[in-house]
Each structure stands twice: as C-alpha cells, then as structure tokens.
C-alpha cells in the first residue's frame, strides 16, 4: 500500500499530521527508510520532518537545546559537550553523520546505539510535542525497552535539552569489533567534582543503566577499584532487562560491561589535568 506523505512546514503542521496516531516520523531517514525498504516498518502515513525547521543548536538559560533534526555533522560543528565527540564516531561514515540525528537515534531506541546512554548520562530532557500540547520527559524515563520509548504515536520529539554541566568531566568509550558495526557495549561517564562518578552503560541491557561508581583512589588500573566497578555494574544489570542482538548475547555484554565502564571512567578522569 502506498503511504500518504507530508512534509509539514512547522511543528504545528507536524503534530497535526501525526494526530491520527498512524504516522511514521521520518527524520534523517537513516534507520526508518531502510526499515521500510526491508519491510520491517509499514507506514500508513509518512511525516517528513525535513522542512519543519527543527534543526539547530541554541544555548539557553537552562542549557543547550538541540533541535530534533540537528544532524551528527551539525553536532560536531556546534561543539556540544559529549554529544559532539560521540557524533564523530557514529558508525556509517560521513554520509550517515550528514543525515542522521541524535534525536532520531533516541526515538529509534536501538539499545546498542551510542545516543541513549549519552542522553541519560547528560540528564537530557526530551521535549515531545503533539496536537494536544508539549511535555518533557527525562531521558532516564524516555527509554522503556529495546526499540521502545515514552513517545506516543501522535507525538514528535521536537528538541532535546541538555542541562548545564558546570565543570563536570566527561568520558565516553564504546566497544565494537568492526568499524562498520553497531556498538556492542557503550559507557558514558559524567564526573562532577566532589561526587561519585555517574557511569551510564548502554547496550548491556534493553535500556541504559545508571551506575554510581566510586572514584579510583589508586588509579583506574587498581584491581580493588576494578572489582568495585564490576560489582556495581553487575548489580545494576541484575535489575535490568537483558539485551541480546545478532552481534552478541546478553551474557557476553554483561561480561565486558564492567571493563567498558572502567575505561569510560578513566577517559573522563584523564581530562582532569
């Protein structure tokens, strides 16, 4: 069946087009278009965001606002904490980074993608819009499971708000076995001076998992600290839904997650020169 197609000129038009609840949102298209090609997504209506004016990064009083259609390339150029460096490493080459968006990746919610854990680590707020109004959902509550989010079918992600991080140090490490592969496990670390490290592990469970990790007193190679990280990560994973995909089973992800978390913490702390 041929889907209906619209490319609304503004957010009001987008929410009107989605009001029936049967629309598939097309952002950068890098995930949803191949999914349609291969029959994994069937759309009665396509709502194309490319003309709705949702791209751009602006600094406001309550943080940095990233429009949903801001591409990874735009993010690199804008210099957004953590997300810009993550954007440079998004799988798929410059062609994908020129089209794909962090907002789209969040809404697609592949557990193994880079963006979800980063947004949770940054305490991002997801601004959703529908014909009935707008609401904000914290990133920690946005990801409900593999490929499932709090976005309703009649809603569009309009913006992502990244709160001010002050003088926090940031780290990000991902593990994958081939350049063109999805990540298998990711870890984003936010180190606010004087507090425990906040490490968010992605890919090891169906949703990002937040782990509080003590700062290493004898360096990140200290076996005692490594034991602490392993215990903290495994305790957090025990409370979460496991995740497997074609690249790795859940047990493998659980096994390597502490090492990736420790590397991410070390990556953040190494910036503290």
Partner 1 sequence: MTGMRLTVNGVDREIDVDPSTLLVHAIREQVGLTGTHVGCLTGDCGACTVVLDGRTAKSCSVLALSADGSAVETVESLADGDELHPVQRAFWDGFAFQCGFCLPGMLLTAKELLDSTPEPDDAQILAAINGNLCRCTGYNTIVSAVRQASGCARTCAKETPCQES
Name the site residues for partner 1 (rule: CB under 8 A). 2-5, 7, 26, 28-31, 33-34, 36-38, 46, 48, 50, 73, 91-96, 98-99, 179-180
Q: In whole angstroms, how close is the CB of 45 to partner 1 at the nearest point? A: 9
Phi first, then psi, for residue 22 (nearest 5°) are -110, 15
CA distance 27 to 34: 13
Q: Is 101 exposed, middle or buried (0-12, 13-18, 19+ CB in 10 A)?
A: buried
Q: In whole angstroms, how close is the CB of 29 to partner 1 at the nearest point? A: 5
CA distance 23 to 42: 10
Of the pair 39, 60, the CB lying nearest partner 1 is at 39
Of the pair 167, 180, the CB lying nearest partner 1 is at 180
The residues that bridge with 147 in the sheet, in sequence order, are none
Of the pair 28, 111, the CB lying nearest partner 1 is at 28
Q: In whole angstroms, how close is the CB of 97 to partner 1 at the nearest point? A: 8
Q: In whole angstroms, how close is the CB of 199 to partner 1 at the nearest point? A: 27
The strand pair at 57-60 and 63-67 is best described as antiparallel
DSSP 42-110: --SEEEEGGGS----EEEETTEEEEETT-BHHHHHHHT-TTHHHHHHT-TTHHHHHTT-BHHHHHHH--
Of the pair 62, 77, the CB lying nearest partner 1 is at 77
Q: In whole angstroms, how close is the CB of 215 to partner 1 at the nearest point? A: 32
Of the pair 50, 210, the CB lying nearest partner 1 is at 50
Q: For the sheet containing 133-138, what is the strand order? A: 57-60, 63-67, 156-162, 125-130, 133-138
Q: In whole angstroms, how close is the CB of 71 to partner 1 at the nearest point? A: 8
* Nearest by Cα to 55 from 69, 41, 43: 69
CA distance 149 to 167: 30
Of the pair 90, 206, the CB lying nearest partner 1 is at 90
Q: In whole angstroms, how close is the CB of 32 to partner 1 at the nearest point? A: 9
The strand pair at 169-175 and 133-138 is best described as unpaired
In eight-state DSSP terms, residue 4 is E
Of the pair 186, 189, the CB lying nearest partner 1 is at 186
């Amino acid at each position: 069946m041929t889907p209906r197609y619209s490319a609304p000129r503004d957010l009001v038009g987008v929410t009107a087009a989605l009001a029936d609840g049967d629309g598939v949102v097309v952002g950068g298209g890098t995930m949803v278009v191949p999914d349609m090609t291969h029959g994994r997504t069937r759309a009665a209506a396509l709502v194309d965001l490319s003309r709705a004016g949702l791209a751009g990064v602006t600094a406001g009083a309550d943080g940095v606002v990233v429009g949903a259609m801001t591409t990874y390339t735009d993010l690199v150029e804008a210099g957004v904490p953590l997300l810009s460096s993550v954007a440079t490493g998004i799988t798929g080459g410059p062609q994908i980074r020129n089209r794909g968006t962090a907002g789209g990746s969040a809404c697609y919610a592949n557990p193994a993608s880079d963006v979800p854990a980063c947004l949770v680590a940054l305490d991002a707020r997801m601004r959703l819009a529908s014909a009935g109004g707008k609401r904000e959902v914290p990133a920690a509550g946005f990801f409900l499971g593999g490929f499932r989010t709090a976005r309703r079918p009649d809603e569009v992600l309009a913006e992502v708000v990244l709160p001010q991080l002050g003088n926090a140090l940031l780290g990000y490490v991902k593990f994958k076995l081939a350049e063109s592969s999805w990540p298998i496990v990711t870890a984003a670390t936010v180190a606010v001076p004087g507090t425990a490290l906040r490490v968010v592990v992605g890919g090891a469970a169906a949703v990002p998992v937040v782990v509080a990790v003590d700062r290493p007193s004898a360096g990140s190679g200290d076996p005692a600290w490594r034991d602490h990280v392993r215990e903290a990560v495994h305790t957090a994973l025990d409370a979460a839904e496991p995740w497997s995909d074609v690249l790795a089973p859940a047990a493998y992800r659980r096994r390597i997650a502490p090492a990736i978390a420790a590397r991410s913490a070390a990556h953040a702390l190494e910036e503290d020169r």
